[in-house]
Structure 1
């Protein structure tokens, strides 16, 4: 409990000053996009088998977007 008029101090974190998603144990945005593409592909196949057409379509779009992100980022790194 805090006393009136005083604000709580923030708890110290290991990733202070770093960008979100760059905490230890996480691979950053590129790795996250690759993981999302992989998982979206699996979920899309599942949705297709069960004839969940809208989910199948949306997961396909998610997969394409994630793959595009990975492709563009790797292209920039090569330049």
Structure 2
């Protein structure tokens, strides 16, 4: 955990997509949506495990929206 007011250092990466340790939003909209979908999936499992039904539902809807966004973006790129 970081202290308020301090930014985490980012790992340098020569990879074109950036490192998984970079802060979200550094690589464009598609990378941000992919990151959000991954994190929401993990949070949704946590909500389910603790029987937080409304959070589980809302996080599921968020995951569906992120997945749909990625599906439509990749469909447009193929055209």
- In angstroms, what is the RMSD of aligned CA positions? 1.1
Q: Pick 1 or 2: higher relative contact order, CA cutoff 8 A, min separation 6.
A: 1
Corresponding pairs, count? 55
Map of 1:68 onto structure 2? 68
Alignment of structure 1 residues 1-79 onto 2, 5 Å: 26-79=26-79
Structure 2: gaps (5+ residues): 1-24
User: Displaced runs of 4+ in structure 1, greater than 4 A?
Assistant: none
Q: Aligned partners of 2:28 and 2:74: how far apart in 1?
A: 13
TM-fit CA distance, 1:27? 1.1
TM-fit CA distance, 1:26? 1.1
Q: Secondary structure at the match of 2:51?
A: coil
Structure 1: gaps (5+ residues): 1-24
Q: Secondary structure at the match of 1:74?
A: helix
Give the TM-score normalised by the residue count of structure 2.
0.67
